[in-house]
Amino acid sequence: MAFAFKYIKGDTVIHKLDPRTKLAMVFLHIVAVLLIWDLRILSILFILGLSWLVIAKIDWKNLKKPFVALLLLLLFVTVLTNMFYPTIATESPHILYSWGPIVIAYESIIYSFTVSMRYLAIFPIATLFILTTDPSKLTISLSKLKIPYKLAFSVNIALRYLPTLLVDYEMITNAQKARGFELEKPTGGFIAKIKRVAPIMVPMLILSIKRAEQIADAMDLRGFGAHKKRTWYHDTKLQHNDYIMIGFYLFVVLAILYLKLYIFTGLWIPPFDLVKQYLWVPLFGG
Amino acid sequence: MVAKLTLSTKDIVLMGIGAAMYAIFGSATFFIPVGGMNLRPAIAIVTFFGAMYGPIVGFVVGALGNLLLDFTWGSFWWEWDVGVGIIGLFPGIWWYLRDGQIETSKDLLMVAILGVIGCFVGLFFAGFVDVIIGTPFEIAIYAWALPAAVTDAIFVAILTPIFIQAVNAAKPKLLEEE
């Protein structure tokens, strides 16, 4: 199952960063990625993200499934849709292959790789955030960022109940399978096929609403929402490392902004002749 | 009389749990081929919460749920999160007008219609933001927004009334067990 993500306890420098710092890291990293259309810089940002994962000692087995799923998604969504637009990147493309209406140009392949790399470069930082941030500390940090604490609590509940609901989901699926239910049965019309998700979703909805009522009762009994402002049992403070990290990322974004404005202004297309001479010919022959 | 738009504790909890449910079903059914297409029936969860608990709950379930789903794929596209939030907002309009009572078949029909409109408004909003950011119009609108809106609309139209009916029927039983 693709959804294997939840907070894993750890004791590294990254784990000890304030959730606000990690939010800033995610935000600034994404800004940096969205600014640039250059494969070389995007690769550096990807490696930067990966190095945080290495520092946080995240096990590869936690990342393998979503990473493979993302690669498949990129293959289908970005590569296959963009590759067949020969003029997507330039007015006069180098045609590599054409067969009837299918025209594959060198520039559109580079464009597809660049778009895929823009997705890939965000992957490590987003997973880092999910895997190393304690949801209850995130709630405190969010409310310190002046986000209404009720909304912050919703975020906390969503993160807290993801694993629980996942167990419910598997339980209900197994229970329905034991009753002879088949989600992917090939018979029946179009609407019948769509309705087939109901035996799983309806019990899940009812169970969730019941659970929500119990949680809400427990929260009401403890006086949740009685006052406009509230305090927290734990406190989070920005430490030395937090300022260093935010400073570092601000520097990265400024550097990328400079590169974007003056050096790598647009989509980078490696010179066609050089790629042909040094990559294509040695690998695939003339 | 018009339903209040203030949030009760239950609404707060439901926003979180609904978002988590959307994220789980969204990732579980991402690659399930139904009728030959890769579809996301989880979208009906968003319209269900919008219809049963109001526009704010619907919006947060959609936007926060899609944000969580994005994170599991290691990406972040805020315009699509807002777009899915808008889908949850639309059925909530009828909830607001009906003072939170969604029971008759007319209610179910109106919720389904508003949900379908929401699919187009929300996803075309996201598509147009993508066009403004720099994706070619043909790709953002014809390859991303339009197919997603059409398939989501089909799911919303068929599944939302089923969910509402089932949960309404189970309501007395839920209270009994307390």
ipTM for the whole complex: 0.87
The pLDDT of A54-78, averaged and rounded, is: 82
pTM of the predicted model as reported, rounded to 2 decimal places: 0.79
List, for residues A201-219, the tens digit of each pLDDT value.
999 999 999 999 999 999 9
Q: Out of B12, B68, B163, name the one closest to residue A205 (CB).
A: B163
Query: What is the number of other CB atoms lying within 10 angstroms of the CB of residue A33?
Result: 23
Mean pLDDT of chain B: 84
Scanning A147-206 for CB atoms below 8 A from B yields: 150-151, 153-162, 165-166, 169, 183-184, 190-191, 193-198, 201-202, 204-206
Unique residue bearing structure tokens 């990328």 = A256
User: Per the structure block, which two tokens stand in for A75?
Assistant: 């293959």
For an interface test with B, which of A31, A75, A162 has the most B Cβ atoms less than 10 Å from its Cβ? Answer: A162
Beta bridge partners of A99: A102
Contact at 8 Å (CB) between A181 and B36? no
Return the pLDDT at A226.
83
* H helix intervals, chain A: 13-16, 19-35, 39-55, 60-74, 80-82, 106-132, 135-144, 149-178, 190-195, 198-221, 240-262, 272-275, 281-284
pLDDT-derived band at B175, boundaries 50, 70, 90: low
For an interface test with B, which of A197, A208, A217 has the most B Cβ atoms less than 10 Å from its Cβ? Answer: A197
pLDDT-derived band at B158, boundaries 50, 70, 90: very high
Alpha-carbon distance of B8 to B11, in angstroms, equals: 5
The pLDDT of B156-173, averaged and rounded, is: 90
pLDDT-derived band at B33, boundaries 50, 70, 90: very low
Domain ranges in chain A? Answer: 13-133+240-286
CB distance from A88 to chain B under 8 Å? yes
pLDDT-derived band at B90, boundaries 50, 70, 90: very high
List, for residues A232-267, the tens digit of each pLDDT value.
887 778 889 999 999 999 999 999 999 988 888 778
Residues 6 or more apart whose Cβ sits within 8 Å of residue A135: A7, A155, A156, A159, A160
